[in-house]
A and B are shown apart, each in its own frame.
Chain A
Amino acid sequence: MIYLGIDTSNSPLALALIEDGVVLIEETANLKINHSLTAMPAIEEMMKKAKVLPADLTHIAVAEGPGSYTGVRIGLTIAKTLAWSLKIPLHSVSSLKVLAANGQGFDGLVCPIMDARRGTAFIGLYEGTGLKSVLADQHSDVKEFLLKAKELGRPVLFTGIDAALHEALIVEVLGRAAHFSSIQNRLPRASNLILLAQQSEESDVHHAVPEYRRITEAEANYNKAQEGQIL
C-alpha cells in the first residue's frame, strides 16, 4: 500500500509518500510559491526520486481546508483527479487537524491557527492526546475564539506559521496557559496528513469538496441585501 499525501491549503507545500508504514519521502516547502505552478512538478519529482509510478499508488490523502481558497482547491483538484482516474480511494482530512498533529502528545489542548485577515482566523481546538476535536474548525474573530478556549481552563499549544502574527493577543488573553510550537512544528507535514487519513473514512471522490468554513463575499452581501428586503 502506498499513500500519497498532498497539503496545499496555505502557503506551505507539504507532500509525502508512505509505503506500508514506512515514510519513503517527505517534503515541506515554505517558499510562498504558486501551488498551481509547483504542486504537480513537485509530486512528479518526489515520486521519481522514490521510484514510485502513478499506477503504484493505492491511496490519496489530501488536506481539505480551511485555508487559502485557491490553495485548497488546487490540492483537492489534483487529489480528486488522481484518485478518480487511478480508481483508488481518496481520504480528505481537515487542514487544521493536520497542523494540530504537530502538537500530538502535548498535555493539554492544541490550537492550529491560520490567519484570515481583519483580526480573524481559521481556527480549531483539539485534544493533545488523540486529536479529538474540542472546538470545531471555524472562521472566527481571533479574540472571541481565545476567550472560549480560556474558559476551558487548560494549557493550549498554538501551532501554524500564523501563530506568530497573533502571539501578543494570545498571551494577553491566555497568559501562562499559552504555549507555542517550536518553529519546525508550525508547518504542516504530509506524513501526519497520511497517518490521519489512515484513521479516516474514505471520501466520495466526486463529492469531496473544500471545507472553506466561510461563504463568499458575494453571497454574504447578497444575503445581507435579501435580509434588508424582508425587513
Chain B
Amino acid sequence: MAKQYDVLFRLLLLGDSGVGKTCLLCRFTDNEFHPSHISTIGVDFKMKTLEIDGIKVRIQIWDTAGQERYQTITKQYYRRAQGIFLVYDITSERSFQHIMKWASDVDEYAPEKVQKILVGNKSDEQEKRQVATEQGDKLAKAYGMDFFETSAFTNHNITESFTRLAELVLQANKKDLDLLGGSLNDELNLADLEEQEGLCNVSDDTRKSCWC
C-alpha cells in the first residue's frame, strides 16, 4: 500500500452535565451503552482509529466534566483541541440554552482553527423532547456548524457525527499535511505541529506537567 499520512487529532466533548457526553464516547469507542452513569468528575480520554479518504486518523477523544463548578478548569483543555463537540440533551431545554455559553467559551479559549459540530443527544426519547430538531438545526446554521441528533442508546448517528468532525478537522489541516508531507515522509502528529506554531497560550516548557 502507498504511504499515507498518519495523524493524531484531539476532539473534545463539551456540554452540560448529564447530556450524555460519556455515553456518546462509550458508544463510539466500545460500542457499549451504560444506562445509569456516574457524572464525570475530571477529564477522561479514549483512543479511536479511523480511515478518512485513505488517511489513517487516530483521534484522542477527551470527555470533560460538565458541571458548572469545574468549567474554569476544563477550559484549559480547549486550547489543545482540534475539534469540539457541543452537546446538548433534546429533553432538556436548559442544556440547549447553555450551548450559547459553551460556544462563547470555545471562541475565547480554543484555537482559532478549531472545528465544531452541534450534537443533540437522546434522540430516542421523543416523548420527552423539549428541543425541536428545527431549533437545533437553526442554531447550528447560525454558528456555521454541522448538526446531528444522536442517540447513544440506539447508536443513532454516532459514527456519523464523530467521523464528520474528524473529516472537518482533517480538511482544516489538509494544507499543513500536504506541506509537511512534501518534506517529511514520516508520521505526523498534528497536535504537536500546532504547539510548535504557537497556538498554545502556555508553552509546555514552563509547566511541570502536561495536561495530556
Pair from one complex: no
